[in-house]
Chain A
């Protein structure tokens, strides 16, 4: 009798090397997978889900090793198997779809060549046949121009298409299992949906079993038959997908599932009408001719949060650069607290610079890895306020306290901190200057869900306490919903709509009426062509599902 389970993992322990020590990453996990079944692996970063996923292929990343346990694929033991045997399996019977297709496609070769590589190398078919199949699969995955898209180089295709091409590549040998490692995380919301749909369709069609790794419950809910929740290398909970979504057993799972709390209606402060920043008719370009920003008008009130939304390339970050003075506008004015600012950073005085601070998307690159926390936070204090010595240390501790970090962090380097903690340090650094306005550029998009939520809450609390204004740049609707008072939607370097955030989203305004819906149109239209409007309705439903959590 044939075993119904195509993959059986038992008591698997995987260790990772840190320095000269080996520490367990996956701590004795059991996993089974039936033919055609989709298993969702969910957890925050560091939960060991990717390591586990890769282990299903008998593969560990550099610096990792399988220390005990067994992995059986179709009855064959993969732990300790010959390298050549494993190689024959990989790409052939078990395929892998990586998080970033852009990085995982070899930039030097055409897509079709990379598609055909596995079947040819595994001796399944010749190039002509592979080419034929590729076109079929491309078509099934709704890739545009399936006959020719294979002959493009990876950089010539958009991110969503590339991710689908990678799914196609994984399908090339019609494997029994595909391991999807966060295949949609790096994508815009709209493209996420396209890719998810494609994955769902194709796995059903070929009855391929799949392990789907993600940190986003909304996503896994769409696909998985069964879900395993991992944390710190341990299994937290495992059950049928519907069951888990309906009735999570563990606190942690519940936490992951909980819909983000919307901010309470904020009492209008006395500064409500007080405008801190105004941008008038600003245009800018990097090379003098191609305008990246055109005729932007914008005003931010004291103590309020404005969200600037739009897809990548819509000019959001450029606008931030113009406001901060990194890119002088080619026309228009920037008025800060009633005073017109010089366009160039170098011409602005220190006081102005102090009152406008910035927080970045990637805390990793925003913090100098060679400076201690005390220096990172301390520098603005001594720089702007000329406070030194003990007094400065006291202030640093205050700031750390404000961002809910212990004072002992002062002597640490950024690399010794987690992502969320780093972002808090960034916030502390901005606060150290005692600013009136903080520009937040995608500050949560690099963080795990729970961590991001914590950071947003912190920002809100600080706003309430300090009366600081935020210009919040994001492409993530959940964030907008969580924090913004007003929304500005940008598309192709222009502001296409603006309005109140809360009424827009809370009321589920029909298309074309509120700000939020404009946003959705803006997002939806970008890159899809306006003649495909009928498609929008369906898109909208899916999108809303993502925003509001799973509705099944």
Chain B
């Protein structure tokens, strides 16, 4: 249902953009005749609602249709890009999620210590820089000065896995720096919040070690907010990384969407928009489910 409304919104949105695909593709060389002929070929001369309905019909049958701009099947176009986007997101998440949770726990454990303050300043600074700037700095340091990692991550299907991993180290690192701060701070806040609970005092009065209290008593109860913030960041990693894709020439979905918007390639915009929306919705659902599973109160009703 939500997806349906989103698809209508996207359609209306792209329709509302000035110009259409033909003008965008032909650019400076558009003439009224060529534009008209082009439109006819792409059936852009039909009224919008008919185009929408035929698109919807295709989706119901499981067909995304073809790109207007280059006539390729959208499923092919999107297929490997979403694979790439997910690959990047998964790799980043594999580093960022454990790292930020660990840092969050440690920061909560030694809160107001030098370590806590240092880590909070560092993460704060990383989110305070524009994303592309972090990327440039990393490139300048790790790719240009010390030639360790490639500065562009144009992975392709033929690449072996390890080479792929090597290629995406820098975008991964950039994204990690961007998301870790948020997740870590939330983890820390959630745990500290829990630390005010009576059962934590109880645990202290049982003579437990600080580490055990934080990990065994506070963290399990802070899971729900942590899961939620992780979900939000994962959704961002899949859908919101256009800038990193541009800087690192990474063939992800975001760039496709931006290109398609600028070329008014409606079916591609629709399809990728829907994918983003479903990723977002799925992740949120997943987060809700995990929250329930992590909470014995909800998992084992009376």
A residues bordering B, Cβ < 8 Å?
Answer: 54, 57, 59, 61, 86-92, 95-96, 98, 100, 103-109, 117-118, 121-122, 153, 155-156
Contacts and interface: CB of A to CB of B under 8 A. Distances in A.
Contacts of B206: 90-91, 95-96, 117-118, 121
Contact of A98 (B198, B207, B220): B198
A121 B212 contact: yes
A99 to B, nearest CB: 8
Given A155-B302, A156-B302, A107 B205 contact: no
Nearest to A90: B207
Nearest to A100: B198
B166 interface: no
B199 interface: yes
Contacts of A86: 207
A87 B202 CA distance: 12
Given A104-B199, A121-B212, A90 B297 contact: no
B202 A98 contact: yes
B102 interface: no
Contact of B297 (A57, A87, A89, A155): A155
B296 A57 contact: no
A107 B198 contact: no
B212 A106 contact: no
Task: Please list the 3 inter-chain residue pairs (A to B) with the smallest Cβ-Cβ separation, ordered nearest first.
Answer: A91-B206, A90-B207, A108-B220
A117 B207 CA distance: 10
B208 A87 contact: yes
Contact of B220 (A91, A92, A109): A109
Contacts of B255: none
Contact of A108 (B198, B202, B208, B221): B221
Interface in B267-302: 294-297, 300, 302
Given A59-B204, A109-B217, 8 more contacts: A57-B205, A61-B201, A96-B205, A98-B201, A106-B220, A121-B207, A121-B212, A153-B297
B300 A87 contact: no
Contact of A106 (B204, B209, B221, B302): B221
Interface of B: 197-199, 201-209, 212, 216-217, 220-221, 294-297, 300, 302
A468 B217 CA distance: 51
B207 A107 contact: no
Contacts, number: 79
Classify the interface of chain B: helix, strand, loop or mixed: helix
23 contacts: A54-B205, A86-B207, A90-B204, A90-B205, A90-B206, A96-B205, A96-B206, A98-B201, A98-B202, A103-B197, A103-B199, A104-B199, A105-B202, A106-B202, A106-B203, A107-B295, A108-B220, A108-B221, A109-B296, A117-B206, A117-B208, A122-B207, A155-B297
A105 B302 contact: no
Contact of A105 (B199, B205, B212, B300): B199
Contacts of A100: 198
B202 A107 contact: no
Contacts of B302: 155-156
Contacts of A117: 203, 206, 208
B220 to A, nearest CB: 4
B207 A106 contact: no
Nearest to B203: A106
Given A106-B221, A156-B300, A92 B198 contact: no
Most buried by A among B203, B207, B296: B207
B35 to A, nearest CB: 58
Contact of B207 (A89, A105, A153): A89
Given A104-B199, A104-B202, A92 B207 contact: yes
A57 B296 CA distance: 31
From A91, A95, A108, A121, name the one whose CB has the most chain B CB atoms within 10 angstroms: A108
A100 B197 CA distance: 11
A344 to B, nearest CB: 30
A90 B205 CA distance: 5
Contacts of B297: 107, 153, 155
Contacts of B216: 109
A3 to B, nearest CB: 23
Contacts of A54: 205
A233 B220 CA distance: 38
Nearest to A59: B205
A121 B300 CA distance: 27
A362 B209 CA distance: 36
Contacts of A96: 202, 205-206
Nearest to A106: B199
A82 B198 CA distance: 24
Contact of B208 (A91, A107, A109, A153): A91
Contacts of B208: 87, 91, 117-118, 121
Nearest to B223: A108
A78 B285 CA distance: 51
A336 B267 CA distance: 64
Contacts of B201: 61, 98, 104
B301 to A, nearest CB: 8
Most buried by B among A54, A106, A107: A106
A91 B205 CA distance: 6
B296 A107 contact: yes
Nearest to B302: A156
A123 to B, nearest CB: 11
B256 to A, nearest CB: 43
B199 A155 contact: no
A95 B216 CA distance: 20
Contacts of B204: 59, 90
Nearest to A117: B206
A109 B296 CA distance: 8
B299 to A, nearest CB: 9
B212 A107 contact: no
Nearest to B208: A121
B11 to A, nearest CB: 38
Nearest to B200: A106
User: Which has the most chain B C-beta neighbours within 10 Å: A86, A122, A153?
Assistant: A153
A390 B260 CA distance: 68
Nearest to A166: B202
A173 B7 CA distance: 63
Contacts of A105: 199, 202
